[in-house]
Amino acid sequence: MSALKSYEELKKMVEDMEEDFRKFYEKGVKAAGTRVRKHMSDLKRKAQEIRNEVQAMKQSERSQSASE
């Protein structure tokens, strides 16, 4: 996955959360709070995927440098 695509996915995820954040924090809609928690869980999962991808790329670069 390209870095730009990962970044765009993160931005979209955050944008998609806005309505539920407003409903929960500004209007006190409890069901929106449940959705906020799910959004945050999804965001955490995506962040971990990106962290793993970055680490793999760094290790790949190291192994290529070492073999040269």
Give residue-wise pLDDT tens across range 30-42: 999 999 999 999 9
Is the pTM higher than 0.85? The answer reads no
CA distances from 38 to 21, 30, 46 (A): 11, 13, 12
Q: Which two tokens stand for residue 48?
A: 């971990």
DSSP per-residue letters across 40-62: HHHHHHHHHHHHHHHHHHHHHHH
- Locus of tokens 């500004």: 26
CB contact set of 45 (below 8 Å; sequence gap of 6+): none
Give residue-wise pLDDT tens across range 4-62: 898 999 999 999 999 999 999 999 999 999 999 999 999 999 999 999 999 999 998 88
Query: What pLDDT does 52 receive?
Result: 93
Secondary structure percentages of the chain, helix, strand, coil, to 5: 95, 0, 5
